[in-house]
Amino acid sequence: MSIAERAKELRAEIEKHDLQYYVLDAPLVPDAEYDRLFRELQAIEAGHPELVGPDSPTQRVGAAPLPEFLPVAHRTPMLSLNNAFSPAEVEAFDRRVRDGLEAGDEVEYSAEPKFDGLAVSLVYEEGIFVRGATRGDGNTGEDVTPNLRTVGNLPLRLQGGSSPHVLEVRGEVLMLRGDFDRLNARQRESGEKEFVNPRNAAAGSLRQLDSRVTARRSLRFFAYGVGAFDGAGLPATDHTHSALLDRLIAWGLPVAAERRRVRGLAGLLAYYAEIGDKRAALPYDIDGVVYKVNDLAAQEQLGHVSRAPRFAIAHKFPAEEAVTELLTIDIQVGRTGALTPVARLAPVFVGGVTVTNATLHNEDEVRRKNIHIGDTVVVRRAGDVIPEVVRVVPEKRPILAPEFVMPKSCPVCGSHVVRGDDEAVARCSGGLVCPAQRRQALLHFASRRAMDIEGLGDKLVEQLVDGELVRTPADLYRLRLTAVSNLERMAEKSAGNLLAAIEKSKRTTLARFIYALGIRNVGETTAKDLARHFGSLDRLLAADEARLLQVNDVGPVVAQSLRQFFGEPHNLDVVEQLRAAGVVWGEGEAAPTATSAIVGKTFVLTGTLPSLTRDAAKALIEAGGGKVTGSVSKKTDFVVVGAEAGSKLEKAQELGVAVIDEEQLRELLNKKGALH
């Protein structure tokens, strides 16, 4: 046997043992025998470097430090999940699924533990692991390929053959509780800072610039799905999420052993109870379970909204609780002027972090819970995210503990505090004159989905406000180079870049501008609906509440918020100042009318169009009063197809939905008169 053949044999043997040990939890040989095989392979590769490949088990030991993490664009977005915290919310999810699928019977779901780790994406080409990235913002992550190569149970080569030419696997990197305890013991012995929890340790380990450090941290990977793929290899008959996970296991990828197929609401809640009972005994941390519609075609039909799929939801476990002392209550003034009482607490470890502050929501909530300053209180991290005071321990209340009183004037600007008869929230009446609101209003105005002013972040906004260079968003467009370059950490070049970004932001869209104003209850989607309905800001300003209620998804609360905002003279002054400064957003464009051929019609785009990008086609359809969705259903009016159209075209033909090309789309966009 040649040296090359022996190295190949050793790699195959070690990969088999890695699968048995890390994935199947059924080792075939003692550790000493495994170590002997591994050392033999290391010796061969040391003497014959030409035999070392990226898929060799020896490459898990880590490489030299990286200068930085490079960005990686995910081929398909890594969506987040909506959360449910009660059986009623799970019931509502199941009802939405059945309604969306028009299913009379119980729906089958795949139920899985929700790992408390770091989401990653792995790319395999011809069965070889070539790239791995963090979730990032869902569209773009960080390239952490060298670090992921060190994860012991992550296969560098897929087993069994017949994998797609390109396969993108989605999953979670985490640290087992036992490995976490051992890591912290080493940290203590060396006098280094301990990690707060396994997730914190896993995230910090995966983002090390030196992958040799990562290799010493004992990370694990668990797959939970597939993103993009090219070529055959996925289940050909059983088109379900469960079958997909079975195929991942066949390729050597670890998947949670606790997953189940369940039916209907009863099955979901029974699984939740089962995993809840096992939670403390599991080797890794979980913060809930995940329910996914099992049928992949049904998933496609349901599609997604914003950044979350309609076919899946995370059912979170009750948050952990702890007891501590409430030292005092401060008032936090928000971007919209809302005054929120915040409990300042004696530090307490709860839900995996040390908590020193907790929300009290509003004055009524403080009264309802009978909270006094100095009380001993029970603190919970609601949904494992936002700390809140759950209740007091009345028997431990100090004598003469003072009650909380909402201030009559804003603690930031001194303006009068008002509260509507039907509102639970008290608000500062200072509006844009209140520095607390001004900072947040400016940050929101400049944010990426609003006016998108690159470089205008927290520290800079704080200096602009504190230096009284900017009082309203309109003042941004009056800034001068000398004033900006004199700010801390701002040289002339960086000041020039900021002013260029501000100048660039003058050309925007009506939807972005409406969203940028920071109107209560008006988010990005509502701003788009308003822009599409009215076509110009003047029409929106002139609309009464009845006209506003005609807008898609605008109810009485949103309509009242709009009228209150535009009913304030200082808000209208800011709008006019912005216009005078040269901010334009297509003012005067006609709004879609009832005679437009596509008003109210639903479109789905698939394939590559000859001259329009997907975003450009969507913008044209929305400008004409149509709606673009991501999946084909009986409610779809048109499917616009281009080159290499996929399953959406087949679904349209199956349902009898009209199929058109780009030229026919343009004809519709130019056509007047309702379609029949």
- 392 Cβ neighbours under 8 A, 6+ residues apart: 369, 370, 371, 372, 375, 376, 377, 378
Q: What are phi and psi of 71, to 5 degrees?
A: -75, 145
Can you give the C-alpha Rg of the chain in angstroms?
29
Helical spans, DSSP H, in 602-655: 614-623, 647-655
Taking each helix axis as running N to C, give the angle between helix 569-580 and helix 556-566, from 0 to 180 degrees, rounded to the nearest 10: 70
Helical spans, DSSP H, in 406-552: 435-446, 458-466, 481-485, 492-504, 510-516, 524-534, 537-542, 545-548
- Positive or negative, the CA dihedral 256, 258, 260, 262 is negative
Label residues 11-20 b or e (16+ Cβ within 10 Å = b).
bebbbebbbe
Q: Is 114 a catalytic residue?
A: yes
Q: Which of 8, 114, 396, 493 is catalytic?
A: 114
Please give the Cα distance from 34 to 561 (Å, whole number).
67
Please give the Cα distance from 60 to 41 (Å, whole number).
13
3-state SS assignment for residue 81 = coil
**CB 600, CB 625: distance < 8 Å:** yes
Please give the Cα distance from 401 to 103 (Å, whole number).
57
Amino acid identity, position 69: F
- 418 Cβ neighbours under 8 A, 6+ residues apart: 426, 427, 429
- 555 Cβ neighbours under 8 A, 6+ residues apart: 549
Q: What are phi and psi of 428, to 5 degrees?
A: -75, 135
3-state SS assignment for residue 511 = helix
Please give the Cα distance from 52 to 71 (Å, whole number).
27
3-state SS assignment for residue 125 = strand
Number of residues in the chain: 676
Q: In three state form, how does the secondary structure of 314-325 look? A: EEECCCCEEEEE
**CB 123, CB 131: distance < 8 Å:** yes
- 372 Cβ neighbours under 8 A, 6+ residues apart: 392, 397, 401, 402, 403, 404
CA distances in angstroms from 456 to 101, 466, 505, 656, listed in the order given: 45, 15, 12, 50
Please give the Cα distance from 53 to 42 (Å, whole number).
12
Closest CA to 627 of 609, 603, 652, 607: 603
**CB 629, CB 603: distance < 8 Å:** yes
DSSP 254-284: -B-TT-EEEEHHHHHHHHHHHHHHHGGGSSS
Which residues are known catalytic residues?
114
